[in-house]
Amino acid sequence: MASQEAAPRQPRVLLTAAEIDSTVARLAAEMSARYHDGVVLIGVLRGSVPFLADLVRVMTVPVSVDFMAITPYTPGSGRVRLLKDLDLDIAGRDAVIVEDIVDTGLSTAFLRRELERRNPRSVAVCTLLDRRIRRVVPVEIDFAGAEVADAFVVGYGLDHEGRYRNLRLVAAADVELLADDPDVYVPVFYGSPEFELE
């Protein structure tokens, strides 16, 4: 009984590795069908890295990759700021912003505005996860993975204080438990075959 009470609440798996793979394959096929002349994929650091790396390996058109980083939006902090800009010039090219999750939409809306000023042929948005329920600004999503409800998620690029990005799955985690101890899910995710296999 005591040991059961000490065990962290089980995170809920929202996307298994197999579900991630099929979502990535679908989105890569959609983008390959749209951009015959090639495309610049712009990863938003750091959460989109695993997603972007998997996407490019199954796309069947020429792909350039670049990255941007912005300050996370926090209520009351004012606005989003650019921390790392592109190295590539996207003028006249088709560009796709690749996001791990579109939540309030503030980051994506900022990035889209920023990129549109550089005279690209087009700017689109691709996201693995879409949490529409929390949207603050409207964002058009051209290539949408899975919709998630109002729960904090970790895994496959998504972190809590730098942890859990390298999980092969996406899981809903308890924010109160994480606030008490950011490592609370380490034994569960990294020590149990149930999660390693998924």
The residues assigned a catalytic role are 103
CB of 122 to ligand IMP, least distance (A): 21
* 153: contact with ligand IMP by CB under 6 A: yes
Q: What is the DSSP letter of 38?
A: -
Binding to ligand IMP, residues 107-146 (CB under 6 A): 107-108
Instruction: Kindly state the tokens that stand for 71.
Output: 């300050």
Closest separation in Å from C-beta 93 to ligand IMP: 23
Specify the long-range contacts of residues 189-196, CB closer than 8 Å, at least 24 apart. Answer: 189/11, 189/155, 189/164, 195/13, 195/167, 195/169, 195/171
Question: With binding defined as CB under 6 A, does residue 99 bind ligand IMP?
Answer: yes
CB of 115 to ligand IMP, least distance (A): 15
H/E segment holding residue 112: helix 106-116
Range in contact with ligand IMP (rule: CB under 6 A) among 29-37, 51-59, 89-97, 152-160 = 152-160
Q: List phi, psi (to 5°) of 145.
A: -80, -115
Strand ordering across the sheet containing 12-15: 12-15, 170-172, 153-154
Stretch that binds ligand IMP, among 54-62, 85-93, 99-107, 184-192 (CB under 6 A): 99-107
Phi/psi for 3 (5° steps) reads: -70, -30
Q: Which of 39, 158, 167, 171 binds ligand IMP (CB under 6 A)?
A: 158
In sequence order, what DSSP letters do the residues of 52-99 get, joined into one string? HHHHHHH--S-EEEEEEEEPPP-TTS----EEE--SS--TTSEEEEEE
- 44 pairs with which residues across the strands? 68
Q: How far is the CB of 73 from ligand IMP (least distance, A)?
A: 5
Exactly one of 54, 94, 103, 130 binds ligand IMP (CB under 6 A); which one?
A: 103
102 touches ligand IMP (CB under 6 A):
yes
Residue 124 or 158: which CB sits closer to ligand IMP?
158
Smallest distance from ligand IMP to CB 101, Å: 5
Binding site for ligand IMP (CB under 6 A): 44, 47, 72-73, 99-108, 152-153, 158
